[in-house]
Amino acid sequence: MTDANTRPLRDAFGYLCPLDTRWSDNDLYGHVNNVTYYSYFDSTINRYLIEQGGLDIHQGDVIAYVVSSGCEYFEAAAYPESLAVGMRVDKLGNSSVRYGLAVFGAEGSAKALGHVVHVFVNRESGRPVPIPEPLRKALEKLA
The count of domains in the chain is 1
**For residue 3, is pLDDT > 80?**
no
pLDDT band at 123 (very low <50, low <70, confident <90, very high): very high
List the domain range (segments joined by +) for residue 69. Answer: 4-140
Evaluate whether 95 touches 131 at the Cβ level (below 8 Å).
yes
**In the beta sheet, which residues pair with residue 28?**
none
83, 13, 88, 117: CA torsion to nearest 10:
-50
Pick from 115, 112, 110: nearest CA to 100? 115
Pick from 110, 91, 127: nearest CA to 16? 110
Q: Which amino acid is at 112?
A: A
pLDDT band at 5 (very low <50, low <70, confident <90, very high): low
Q: What is the pLDDT of residue 1?
A: 44
Alpha helices in 4-123 (DSSP H): 34-53
Q: What is the CATH number of the domain that holds 88?
A: 3.10.129.10
- Largest Cα–Cα separation, the chain: 45
Specify the pTM.
0.93
Evaluate whether 17 touches 48 at the Cβ level (below 8 Å).
yes
DSSP assignment of 103-138: EE-SSSS-SEEEEEEEEEEETTT--B-PPPHHHHHH
Q: Using one digit for the tens of pLDDT, what is the confidence trace for 73-108?
A: 999 999 999 999 999 999 999 999 999 999 999 988
Q: Using one digit for the tens of pLDDT, what is the confidence trace for 35-82?
A: 999 999 999 999 999 999 999 999 999 999 999 999 999 999 999 999
